A and B are shown apart, each in its own frame.
Chain A
């Protein structure tokens, strides 16, 4: 199971890549392995405003639906449209081709509350 360096993590198993006031968001390798085959992604609408902890996206695996929560206060700028027809990218490439969306952050200090790769690793071992 990969926990990639250079990313920040939430306890809900999302990763965040911070770049100039924006954040790229996805789910971790650990999350995808627990969900099993993901067959449907309900992507957020562009422009949608979200508070930290609100549902940004719904993933459907074969057996169950799971919510993905926004790790920061944000508005959605861009979504990964490929996921509509290829939701399996979330399983195959959770950190690269399987990214979910790019958001602009409302509060630049919020990423500091997220976990480092080392802390997230401990979280998955609990």
Chain B
């Protein structure tokens, strides 16, 4: 099993570890709930080095990246990033990811844990097939990724960099120096709070995590694990690859149609367009339960005593103290405001179909 370069430090900080896509990563340190609230109210620090880093450069890398992604990457400007998906020819999602344009002919993207092994050969194949002079380099094992998330992230991070962080707007990125180490800093994340993600080669930058942790103490920073990462993203309705589209859903079925730019050509476009026109594909719905309960993956969704679908991600919202779930249902069953129920341990719990997120900014 692979480990983050910070494994020993995390162990010292009391991390309880879990296996995730071949990596042994912290599940939590003190308590998932406490870590969740730290991020919502103040500051949390995540190590997400299990995720991939892939550099794309050479000649016209944007041409290849546009071809393989539902976003039109050729429209990106240096210092900008975009959340997108890569599709197979049949329109199903291979992976969801953020592509960052660092400078002209210089991109990096972050595939999900383990997906770099699938995505990189697949990209190389398409580059070769089309005779593109693109250089693709998988630096997953040489790079680290930290996420500094929460309302105090900007203020805390500003103390350890000379760069004016206000200049980095949401979904923008810049090469800056943090704690004397050069990092690619972006205002992105997976928690729905303000914050940054830092990507950098591990080799010379062993102190970035410790510096943020020490500086963050003034803001009651907590080191956070994958448990809080999951509950935080769920409250915002963000998709988790292994739950929401593992096994082959299209962006339409996975609730990610908003990521598609239809005005450019991309692999899988024909299949997704056909599905869109036919219209009878499964819908992603967001279910907010009326009471405290814990819907889990694979729980049945019931409408009028009939099974209409299944939960793909669910849990107790620490902020709402009610059950929340993402589910996939028959197309005709989706209706905002409709009351259905979720079957948990043979008992039905009422839930309303809402538009995500479950928690708005500052609501917790």
Name A's B-contacting residues (CB within 8 A).
Answer: 36-37, 39-40, 42, 58, 60, 62-63, 65, 84-85, 88, 91
| Contacting residues, chain B, for A60 (C-beta < 8 A) | 294, 316
Given contacts A62-B33, A63-B32, contact A39 B296 (CB under 8 A): no
* Set A36, A40, A62, A65: member contacting B292, Cβ < 8 A: A40
Distance between B217 CB and nearest chain A CB, rounded to angstroms: 23
Q: Say if the beta carbon of B227 comes within 8 Å of chain A.
A: yes
Determine whether the beta carbon of B345 is less than 8 Å from that of A62: no
Interface of A is mostly: mixed
Q: How far is the CA of A60 from the CA of B294 in the complex (A)?
A: 7
A-contacting residues, B256-300, CB 8 Å: 292-294, 296
Closest to A63 in B: B227
Given contacts A58-B345, A62-B33, contact A40 B28 (CB under 8 A): no
Determine whether the beta carbon of A36 is less than 8 Å from that of B28: yes
| Contacting residues, chain B, for A84 (C-beta < 8 A) | 292
Given contacts A62-B33, A62-B227, contact A42 B345 (CB under 8 A): yes
Q: How far is the CA of A123 from the CA of B121 in the complex (A)?
A: 50
Q: Say if the beta carbon of B315 comes within 8 Å of chain A.
A: yes
Given contacts A42-B345, A63-B227, contact A36 B296 (CB under 8 A): no
* Set B32, B315, B318, B347: member contacting A36, Cβ < 8 A: B32
**Number of B residues with CB within 8 Å of any CB on chain A:** 17
Determine whether the beta carbon of A40 is less than 8 Å from that of B32: no
7 A-B pairs closest in CB distance: A60-B294, A39-B316, A62-B32, A37-B33, A40-B294, A37-B31, A37-B32
| Contacting residues, chain A, for B347 (C-beta < 8 A) | 42
Interface string of B29-42 (1 = CB under 8 A from A): 00111000000000
A-contacting residues, B307-364, CB 8 Å: 315-316, 318, 345, 347
Q: How far is the CA of A19 from the CA of B218 in the complex (A)?
A: 50
Given contacts A58-B345, A65-B296, contact A40 B227 (CB under 8 A): no
Closest to A88 in B: B33
Distance between B232 CB and nearest chain A CB, rounded to angstroms: 12
Distance between B322 CB and nearest chain A CB, rounded to angstroms: 10
| Contacting residues, chain A, for B316 (C-beta < 8 A) | 39-40, 60, 62
Determine whether the beta carbon of A63 is less than 8 Å from that of B292: no
Q: How far is the CA of A65 from the CA of B227 in the complex (A)?
A: 15
Q: Say if the beta carbon of B231 comes within 8 Å of chain A.
A: yes
Determine whether the beta carbon of A39 is less than 8 Å from that of B28: no
A-B contacts, 23 of them at CB < 8 A, read A36-B16, A36-B28, A36-B31, A36-B32, A36-B227, A37-B32, A37-B33, A39-B294, A40-B292, A42-B345, A42-B347, A58-B345, A60-B316, A62-B32, A62-B231, A62-B315, A62-B316, A65-B294, A65-B296, A65-B345, A84-B292, A88-B33, A91-B31
Determine whether the beta carbon of B227 is less than 8 Å from that of A39: no
Other than A39-B33, A39-B318, give 7 A-B pairs with Cβ distance below 8 A.
Answer: A36-B31, A42-B345, A62-B227, A63-B32, A65-B294, A65-B345, A84-B292
Q: How far is the CA of A85 from the CA of B293 in the complex (A)?
A: 11
Q: Say if the beta carbon of B27 comes within 8 Å of chain A.
A: yes
Q: Which of B28, B296, B345 has the most CB of A within 10 A?
A: B345
| Contacting residues, chain B, for A85 (C-beta < 8 A) | 292
Determine whether the beta carbon of B27 is less than 8 Å from that of A63: yes
Q: How far is the CA of A58 from the CA of B346 in the complex (A)?
A: 12
| Contacting residues, chain A, for B345 (C-beta < 8 A) | 42, 58, 65
Closest to B296 in A: A65
Q: How far is the CA of A37 from the CA of B347 in the complex (A)?
A: 22
| Contacting residues, chain A, for B231 (C-beta < 8 A) | 62
